Amino acid sequence: MNLDENNRSPNDNLNKIMQFIESGTVIPVISNSFRIDEIFREDQGLKEQTAKAPKFYDEARTIDHLLTKKWAEAFFYPMSDDHNLARVAQYRQVESEDPDMAKIEYLAFLNDRLLKLCENEKGYEDIVSQLKPQKKRLIFSDTVKQLDYPRQFAHGREDPLRLLARLPLKIYITTSYSNFLERALESEGKSPRTQICFLSSGASNVKREHLPDPDYDPTLTNPAVYHFFGLENYKETLVLSEDDYMNFLMHAVEEINSQDLYPTPLRLALPDARIILLGYNLSDWDFRTLFRFILRIRKTARAKPSIAIQFKPHLGKKNYEARSIKYLEHYFEGHIFSVEWTSAENFIYELWDTWNKYRQGQQ
């Protein structure tokens, strides 16, 4: 495997999955942090925070982690792992004595942070003044849309989420709390259907159209977007704290045969699909929980080769980095996943370029 420091994915793995994209048997799995990182890319406060961090401090390399540290500061989180969203949310959940308060406050924090970025920006002052008093009730994805975020992408290229949405796929999985993926699909002329899987008994106010439908047959023009960790429209559905993740995993395993919570189209597709994991960090709870669930599903069938997109660890010593990379490769290869050492954005750009060549008969 090519490990050059050029942020490009080896073409071998991309070429191998082209025929499966064509047959619709590839399932992208998109993290919550993927779009969050793009939205807050130009946040000057986060840039300054990165500059102050130790040179080889991996927890300061993602915007999602830096945002968590800022949220933790707001209520004086007392422990050293203030980049860990699940643990920070767990602390806030316990301190507030309300299981949903941490979820409400986290989404309000994201709204407030984005509004502050734009409050003095020409052309957005009126929008910000109208939205600010409502920050605790706002849907974050609505705030993002009204403020025209994200406004730029790597090297001035297209929105990578739009490129994913443009692929001929019927099923997408996301652990995002927002409907960014659905909006990208709609921008590509498709009519996606949002489905929240593995809902707990406490999520009684979810609209019928967002409940898992075992009879819904996703198509290329009407794809399904399965939200595994909840949707911000229903804050009680969010999987955010450590307890939330543990409860999700136990509940998902218990209900793995329930068509009402784990719909038939997804049940049939997931074991045999080529999966692409996008925007996850190996140490984070969202990845660990999701990956354990995927392994649980795939062990009942012959696992198909899949791909995990990872940033290389930067530990300051080449020997340590090489050992860490070797460990991660062994970890994923043991579960039939190959590792692409690049960013999710760069991988999607190369995936799209390779797909274009493939469908034009150049590959």
pLDDT tens digits, one per residue of 34-70? 999 999 988 988 878 766 665 545 555 688 999 999 9
b/e sequence 167-194, b meaning 16+ C-beta within 10 Å: bebbbbbbbbbbbbbbbbbeebebebbb
For residues 160 and 119, state if they share a domain.
Answer: no
Residue 2: per-residue pLDDT: 33
- Could you tell me how far CA 175 lies from the centroid of its own chain? 5
The rounded distance, in Å, linking the Cα atoms of 194 and 179 is 8
CA torsion angle for 228, 62, 344, 190 (degrees, to 10)? 50
Residue 199: per-residue pLDDT: 85
For residues 53 and 178, state if they share a domain.
Answer: no
Q: For position 298, which CATH number holds?
A: 3.40.50
The rounded distance, in Å, linking the Cα atoms of 92 and 105 is 9
Residue 260: per-residue pLDDT: 80
Residue 75 φ/ψ region, left for φ over 0, alpha for ψ in the -120 to 50 degree band, beta for the rest: alpha
Residue 228: per-residue pLDDT: 96
For residues 184 and 292, state if they share a domain.
Answer: yes
Is residue 236, in this structure, part of any structural domain at all? yes
Is residue 291, in this structure, part of any structural domain at all? yes
Is residue 2, in this structure, part of any structural domain at all? no
Q: Which of 111, 146, 181 is the last residue of a domain?
A: 146
Is residue 1, in this structure, part of any structural domain at all? no
For residues 203 and 54, state if they share a domain.
Answer: no
**Whether the Cβ atoms of residue 136 and residue 104 lie closer than 8 Å to each other:** yes
Per-residue pLDDT of the chain (363 residues; tens, 9 = 90+): 333 334 444 467 888 899 999 999 999 999 999 999 999 988 988 878 766 665 545 555 688 999 999 999 999 999 999 999 999 999 999 999 888 999 999 999 999 999 999 998 999 999 999 999 988 889 999 999 999 999 888 778 999 999 999 999 999 999 999 999 999 999 999 999 999 998 876 667 899 999 999 889 999 999 999 999 999 999 999 999 999 999 999 998 888 888 888 888 998 899 889 999 999 988 899 999 999 999 888 875 567 889 888 776 655 556 777 887 888 888 888 888 988 888 899 999 999 999 999 998 855
For residues 290 and 319, state if they share a domain.
Answer: yes
**What angle in degrees, to the nearest 10, is found between the helix axes of 32-39 and 63-74?**
80
Nearest to 219 by CA among 182, 197, 192: 192
The model's pTM is 0.91
Burial of 29 (0-12, 13-18, 19+ CB in 10 A): buried
Sheet with 337-341, edge to edge strand ranges = 193-196, 224-227, 171-174, 26-30, 274-278, 306-310, 337-341
Residue 324: per-residue pLDDT: 78
Is residue 53, in this structure, part of any structural domain at all? yes
**Whether the Cβ atoms of residue 184 and residue 162 lie closer than 8 Å to each other:** yes
**Whether the Cβ atoms of residue 205 and residue 196 lie closer than 8 Å to each other:** no
Q: Which of 96, 117, 146 is the last residue of a domain?
A: 146
For residues 315 and 201, state if they share a domain.
Answer: yes
Residue 312: per-residue pLDDT: 65
For residues 125 and 225, state if they share a domain.
Answer: no
The rounded distance, in Å, linking the Cα atoms of 70 and 92 is 14
For residues 175 and 300, state if they share a domain.
Answer: yes
Is residue 215, in this structure, part of any structural domain at all? yes
Total domains in the chain come to: 2
Residue 335: per-residue pLDDT: 83
Residue 131: per-residue pLDDT: 94
Domain range for residue 346?
Answer: 11-34+152-359
Q: Which residue is listed with tokens 């975020």? A: 149
For residues 252 and 346, state if they share a domain.
Answer: yes
User: Encoding tokens for residue 60?
Assistant: 């300061």
Q: Which of 126, 146, 166 is the last residue of a domain?
A: 146
For residues 301 and 178, state if they share a domain.
Answer: yes
Residue 148: per-residue pLDDT: 95
Is residue 244, in this structure, part of any structural domain at all? yes
**Whether the Cβ atoms of residue 91 and residue 289 lie closer than 8 Å to each other:** no
Q: Which residue is listed with tokens 């390779």? A: 354
Is residue 258, in this structure, part of any structural domain at all? yes
For residues 29 and 42, state if they share a domain.
Answer: no
Nearest to 312 by CA among 341, 284, 285: 341
CB atoms within 10 A of CB 78: 8
For residues 196 and 222, state if they share a domain.
Answer: yes
